């Protein structure tokens, strides 16, 4: 799958904006649905049928659930069947080869792999569609009888590929009746450009460092080089994913939608519990609302609460990818969260904030080793290298050369992970003078020009979360 952001930026988006804003009010959702399908076809032409099937299936299940509820008949069967169909489609296209490989490995069955390419964004739009039928069953949303509106909700291109996961109850009123405004357009455009800058100027550049170090022989890496590499990935995944979320939220605002935030400066957290309140908020909220609480949450004693946490984080890891290292990544966080829930948070509250932050970031950085690795063995070898397990030197001339070349970038990234930049900009803009408005516009235009120059002169680097 090749998805190029250059045509998207310079051809697709301007045409979409023109078509959308000249369209009559009644046809705006039809325009969005059409361009969303074209957008998806551009990136993943083979699986456009799968996405359309997902839209139709969940639309029909929604009608069936609503009909039963109106007639005071239990709607549990169509709900369970709808969830099962969604999970089957997700499981078949994302996890079939993983299951086959493990069956062959454990039972020596010799089943041939299907080698199906992963449908773009299937984890996101499947969870989004499931949240609709579940909320409909619960009475949290009204049935969507207009299939164009429902299709727009599922396929809306700004957040189709990598989230945030948008629930119907968040934008139901805006699907049926929304008003675009100049203020929303301006703030949305600024948010979009900010996200684009985070991705292209920050994530891509630090990602080159990770790519270089990741390709080296792990067991021969100096300790410092290993830490530089995983710190580079730590910054890359944050600015890459939060950058995409900013772009999606910004584009949504341009079209009159107000998506919820997906990141809240997670790297300033002082414990893992807080980290997961700030990182990928839409996913953690989804699992909390549709799995953790239905399982009983923390209502039935500590043992069941621990069970529920393990189940949620096992599946959270598995959601991210069909590989055991993702499962380990999820269980890793689940175990830490259990320790924090049982006793560790009480201990951490007595520790100075700086030490709590070091504790948190150390655990987060180690977690990204499992997340970025190709397999568990590679992850364990990398962690062993990070802590000098192979007896390698702490540093060498190449490590110092890499560090000296990216030191300024690392400082910029570290500051960018905090609210300091936004507070500084807000302080300037809040002055409300023509000078502050000019400054903000100048910065946004400057970022866009830099991004354009960078994209034209470099090869395309896809968003990390495209593979989920």
Catalytic residues: 320
- Whether cis (ω within 30° of 0) applies to the bond prior to 164 is yes
**What angle do helix axes 223-254 and 353-372 make, rounded to 10 degrees?**
90
Answer whether 262's CB lies under 8 Å from 252's CB: no
Q: What does the alpha-carbon distance between residue 465 and residue 468 come to, in Å, rounded to a whole number?
A: 5
Q: Is 47 helix (H, G, I), strand (E, B) or coil?
A: helix
d(CA 17, CA 43): 19
Residue 8: C-alpha distances to residues 95, 418, 458 (Å): 30, 30, 16
Sign of CA dihedral 176, 466, 263, 456: negative
Residue whose pair of structure tokens reads 């909220």 in the numeric block: 285
Q: Which helix (H) or strand (E) holds 84?
A: helix 76-107
Q: Give yes or no for a contact between 160 and 121, defined as CB atoms under 8 angstroms apart.
A: yes
The answer to whether the CB of 122 falls within 8 A of the CB of 55 is no
């Amino acid at each position: 799958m090749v998805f190029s952001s250059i045509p998207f930026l310079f051809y697709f988006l301007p045409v979409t904006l023109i078509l959308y804003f000249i369209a009559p009010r009644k046809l705006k959702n039809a325009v969005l649905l059409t361009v969303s399908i074209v957008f998806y076809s551009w990136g993943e032409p083979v699986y456009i049928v799968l996405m359309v099937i997902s839209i139709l299936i969940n639309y029909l299940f929604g009608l069936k659930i609503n009909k039963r509820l109106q007639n005071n008949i239990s709607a549990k069967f169509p709900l369970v069947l709808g969830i099962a169909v969604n999970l089957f489609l997700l499981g078949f296209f994302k996890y079939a080869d993983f299951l086959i490989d493990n069956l062959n490995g454990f039972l020596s069955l010799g089943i041939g792999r299907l080698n199906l390419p992963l449908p773009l964004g299937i984890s996101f739009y499947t969870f989004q569609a499931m949240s609709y039928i579940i909320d409909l069953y619960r009475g949290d949303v009204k049935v969507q009888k207009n299939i164009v509106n429902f299709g727009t909700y599922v396929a809306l291109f700004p957040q189709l590929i990598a989230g945030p996961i948008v629930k119907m109850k968040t934008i139901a009123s805006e699907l049926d009746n929304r008003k675009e405004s100049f203020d929303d357009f301006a703030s949305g455009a600024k948010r979009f450009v900010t996200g684009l800058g985070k991705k292209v100027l920050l994530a891509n550049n630090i990602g080159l460092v990770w790519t270089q170090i990741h390709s080296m022989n792990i067991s021969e890496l100096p300790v410092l080089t290993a830490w530089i590499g995983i710190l580079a990935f730590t910054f890359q995944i944050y600015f890459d994913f939060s950058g995409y979320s900013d772009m999606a939220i910004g584009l949504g605002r341009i079209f009159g939608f107000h998506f919820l935030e997906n990141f809240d400066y997670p790297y300033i957290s002082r414990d893992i519990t807080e980290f997961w309140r700030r990182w990928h908020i839409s996913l953690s909220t989804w699992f909390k609302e549709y799995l953790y609480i239905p399982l009983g949450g923390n209502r039935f004693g500590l043992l069941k609460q621990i069970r529920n946490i393990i189940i949620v984080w096992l599946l959270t890891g598995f959601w991210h990818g069909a590989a055991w290292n993702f499962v380990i990544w999820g269980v890793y966080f689940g175990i830490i969260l259990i320790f924090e829930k049982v006793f560790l948070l009480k201990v951490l509250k007595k520790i100075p904030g700086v030490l709590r932050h070091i504790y948190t970031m150390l655990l987060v950085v180690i977690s990204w080793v499992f997340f970025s690795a190709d397999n568990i063995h590679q992850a364990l070898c990398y962690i062993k290298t990070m802590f000098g397990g192979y007896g390698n030197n702490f540093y060498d001339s190449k490590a110092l050369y890499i560090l000296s070349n990216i030191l300024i970038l690392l400082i910029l990234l570290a500051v960018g992970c905090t609210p300091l930049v936004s507070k500084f900009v807000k302080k300037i803009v809040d002055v409300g003078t023509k000078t502050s408005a000019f400054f903000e516009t100048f910065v946004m235009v400057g970022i866009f020009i830099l991004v354009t120059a960078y994209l034209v002169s470099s090869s395309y680097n896809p968003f990390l979360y495209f593979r989920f």
